[in-house]
């Protein structure tokens, strides 16, 4: 079955170009030009991925990403004219899995869509848990619970958690984490890893007082259990 992509951008020309290239690659494409419409379409079609412009009228792209993240962990690719490092970090904090700046290559955007959708994790075990059994991951259901309470993670946070749970005590550099989490196209993502780590730490900290992810200064991160 073809994957469904929701394209949210207030510029009709951009939506049209993205639609053409995605449909050529076999995707089902849905469009919205502003936030309220995007939420309606999102609820109706339940897309597999959202391409989201940050500079939207009424509801901003950042706000829309936060709304989507409250109920879903589907991949989000930010599409924006904002090019500063601060803007990119802000987008990642809002739950984006990738960040594409305008002007962009439609072919590259399609490649990034495919790359994001390909990212996954081998389900060698249906359930993975921390040694203290506080953090549980049900891979068959793609669910995470902490202290018995279900917690919503973004796809990137979910993959990071699986890496850490599967390798407690092992120190991972940002480059190695990016390679594991983002796959073959990880180049350039090393700097964004710390943002995803920060977000994951906060979600873990909201449900337990224990600090599971330790920074090993000058080296990387490891899971303490």
Closest alpha carbon to 93 in 200, 215, 11, 199: 199
Cβ count near 63 (within 10 Å): 14
Identify the CATH class of 127-223.
Answer: mainly alpha
The tens digit of pLDDT for each residue in 66-90 reads: 888 777 778 889 887 765 556 656 6
pLDDT of residue 206: 80
Query: pLDDT above 70 covers what percent of the chain?
Result: 86
Q: Where in the chain is the domain with CATH 1.10.10.10?
A: 127-223
What band does 119 get if pLDDT is binned at 50, 70 and 90?
Answer: low
pLDDT of residue 125: 45
- Give 124 or 139, the one with higher predicted confidence: 139
Under 8 Å CB-to-CB from 145, ≥6 apart: which residues? 135, 136, 138, 151
The tens digit of pLDDT for each residue in 176-196 reads: 888 777 764 555 566 788 889
Mean pLDDT of the chain: 82
Query: pLDDT above 90 covers what percent of the chain?
Result: 25
Q: Report the pLDDT averaged over residues 134-147.
A: 82
Contact 181, 159 (CB under 8 A): yes
Q: Report the pLDDT averaged over residues 16-34.
A: 95
The hierarchical CATH code for the domain 4-118 is 3.40.50.2300
Question: Does residue 150 surpass a pLDDT of 70?
Answer: yes
Q: Report the pLDDT averaged over residues 43-47.
A: 90
Q: Report residue 136: phi and psi, to 5°.
A: -125, 140
pLDDT of residue 9: 93
pLDDT of residue 124: 42
Extract the runs of DSSP E, i.e. beta strands, from 119-176.
127-129, 135-138, 143-146, 149-151
pLDDT of residue 91: 58
- Give 8 or 167, the one with higher predicted confidence: 8
Question: Does residue 126 surpass a pLDDT of 90?
Answer: no
- Give 220 or 126, the one with higher predicted confidence: 220
Q: Where in the chain is the domain with CATH 3.40.50.2300?
A: 4-118
Q: Report the pLDDT averaged over residues 15-29.
A: 95
What is the pTM (predicted TM-score) of this model? 0.59
What band does 14 get if pLDDT is binned at 50, 70 and 90?
Answer: very high
């Amino acid at each position: 079955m073809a994957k469904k992509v929701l394209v949210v951008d207030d510029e009709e020309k951009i939506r049209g170009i993205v639609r053409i290239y995605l449909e050529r690659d076999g995707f089902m494409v849905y469009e919205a030009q502003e936030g309220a419409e995007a939420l309606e379409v999102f609820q109706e079609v339940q897309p597999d991925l959202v391409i989201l412009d940050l500079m939207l009228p009424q509801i901003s792209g950042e706000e829309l990403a936060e709304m989507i993240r409250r109920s879903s962990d589907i991949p989000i690719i930010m599409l924006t004219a904002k090019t500063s490092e601060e803007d990119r970090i802000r987008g990642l904090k809002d739950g984006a899995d990738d960040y594409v700046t305008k002007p962009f290559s439609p072919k590259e955007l399609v490649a990034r869509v495919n790359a994001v959708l390909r990212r996954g994790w081998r389900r060698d075990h249906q359930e993975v848990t921390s040694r203290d059994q506080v953090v549980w991951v049900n891979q068959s259901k793609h669910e995470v619970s902490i202290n018995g309470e279900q917690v919503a993670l973004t796809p990137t946070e979910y993959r990071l958690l699986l890496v850490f749970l599967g390798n407690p005590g092992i120190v991972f550099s940002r480059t190695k984490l990016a390679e594991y989490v983002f796959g073959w196209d990880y180049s350039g993502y090393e700097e964004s890893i710390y943002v995803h780590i920060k977000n994951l730490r906060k979600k873990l900290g909201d449900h337990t007082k224990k600090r599971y992810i330790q920074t090993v200064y000058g080296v990387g991160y490891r899971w303490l259990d």
